[in-house]
Amino acid sequence: MNFIKYKVPKKQPYRTWYHFQSPQNWMNDPNAPMYYKGVYHFFYQHNPHAATFGDKMVWAHSVSYDLINWIHLNHAIEPSEPYDINSCWSGSATILPGKEQPLILYTGIDNNKHQVQNLAMPKNPSDPFLREWVKHPQNPVMTPPSGVEVNNFRDPSTASQGKDGKWRVVIGAQNGDEGKVVLYLSEDFVNWTQDPNPFYATDNTGVCECPDFFPVYFNGSTNGVDTSLHDPSVRQVFKISYLCRHEDYYFLGKYVCDEGNFIPDVKFTGTSLDLRLDYGKFYASKSFFDHAKNRRILWRWVNECDTTQDDIEKGWAGLQCIPRQVWLDESGKRLMHWPIEEVEKLRDKQISIMGEKLVGGTILEVSGITASQADVEVLFELPELENAEWLDESEVDPHLLCSEEYASRSGIIGPFGLLALASEDQAEHTAIFFRIYRAPNRYVCFMCSDQSKSSLRQDLDKTTYGTIFDIDPNLKTISLRSLIDRSIIESFGEKGRICITARVYPSLAIDKDAHLYVFNNGSKSVVISELNAWSMKQAEFVQEESINKL
């Protein structure tokens, strides 16, 4: 088997070193991630002809042994039949028990421009790379039902099997301004019927894309759960990507499998109170159960913030976040996220700072690493929380607060955090920071990723991202981890309770001219209890030149 290795071109300062990207052209939704015969599989929406979204989308396919280093294969599914001739859109994989054979359900755009669901199977299940896929002769296996628009019926989920032996999938839909998710059942994975009970609907949200539906343990365990597990030890997570907002929301609740209905703990409000997987640039996420390491892994697409013309000139658009392990926190009220452990294999040169006191107005450079490709973990020791200033959350929009150059405003406890992808004079920087407040009967933390000064360029989307979350009144330390990779910064607050992803395109802070700083603009001192930062090596991305069997 021959391979061609890809290297980041010198004139491509925004192409990442260790995040997954297509070799060229457009990519968007992650599709059908799975672990099969010792190999991780990742499919994604791809336009093979241009760096823009197209009308003949295919499923590109890559494989890996560690979810970090990848082999790009030939396309897995392409438009070829009346039921998908105008594009092959998103879907999911399910590995049937006993047979241990993966099946893919995907959305096809048919010859009438209707969205229908189709079934594909590996041509040779013994091939661990699953290089070739065939389409089922009975396609389409699902067509838009009544009460669903024919051009808004898409993105089937991974199937779960109930105690009655029937398979269940949820599919995103729309009817007017009402967003919907519909439930389908099957005994053989080919013949599907719609459950008559309404599964989920929201007013004035538009189409619900890329629904994901999976169980999590509520006993504080970080272990993942197989999608088909239904017992008292688990709660259910229901995720929706709202196209009108381009954001991923999730609900925790109870699923009564035999009754076909999901009962969320809280309803969607359309406010900052709703739970999101990531409070930054993050969409169309897809999870899978990794039975090799007993964990649930989440993928998600991150699109560009520069112009379409920039994408065309770069020759590519879109990338994927580092896969995250997800689990339910001990309170049972929020999902935790953390980069998969395999990314630590790329850590190279390390520097550490211990016990450094940051008085108000301090900016300290973290030198000695390659700041344009880095992994940074910092633990801040906090002053007494009763010193914090007052905040009335009902009068505050976290995103607006973050957009007001809040990192440079002096508070009491904060803002403090990191200046990433910064120029030497800090004229360019992305600030990721915390600020602690007192609120009615509790303490809260404001976390922000501020891109307003991320580049001297003016033709960019520099949306800033922020959120507020409750913290333990006895909190003595708070942690921040950021994965920095040339044009993306993924930040994890308080051990993964809050995640914010940002795209940035510096004009000065590129390659060796990028710097990293830690800062405190609060009047109360904070202490760097421990900071560790690593330069990150480049992941391996190779193209399979032949399709010789292993």
Taken in order 322, 338, 94, 157, is the CA torsion positive or negative?
negative
**How far are the Cα atoms of 2, 76, 303, 532 from residue 71, in angstroms, in the given order?**
11, 14, 22, 31
The Cα–Cα gap between 479 and 518 comes to 13
- Residue of 29, 212, 290, 311 marked active site: 29
Residue type, 484: I
Give CA–CA dist 137/149, Å, rounded.
Answer: 25
Task: For tokens 């925790």, name the residue.
Answer: 252
E strand or H helix at 178, and its extent? strand 178-186
Q: What is the residue whose two structure tokens read 């991305």?
A: 541
What does the DSSP 8-state code read for residue 495? G
Residue 326 and residue 345 in contact, taking contact as beta carbons nearer than 8 Å = no
SS3 385: helix
Q: CB–CB of 445/426 below 8 Å? A: no
Please identify which residue in the block is written with the tokens 């396919």.
61
- Please give the single-letter amino acid code of residue 526: V
Task: Scan for tokens 């009068």, then name that residue.
Answer: 395
314: its two tokens:
């770069």
278 touches 500 (CB < 8 A): yes
With a CB cutoff of 8 Å and minimum separation 6, the contacts of 378 are 418, 479, 480, 481, 518, 528, 530, 531, 532
- Please tell me whether residue 9 adopts helix, strand or coil conformation: coil
123, with CB counted inside 10 A (0-12, 13-18, 19+), is exposed
55 is catalytic: no
Buried-state track 387-397, b at ≥16 Cβ within 10 A, e below 16:
ebeebebeebe
Please state, in angstroms and rounded to a whole number, the distance separating the CA atoms of residues 421 and 151.
41
Question: Which residues have CB under 8 Å from 394's CB, separation 6+?
Answer: none
Under 8 Å between Cβ of 430 and 419: yes
**What is the token pair recorded at 351?**
């520097």
d(CA 20, CA 27): 10
DSSP state of 232: T
Q: Where are the beta strands (DSSP E) in 48-87?
A: 58-64, 70-72
Beta strands in 359-476 (DSSP E): 362-365, 373-381, 389-390, 416-422, 430-439, 442-450, 465-471
* Active site members: 29
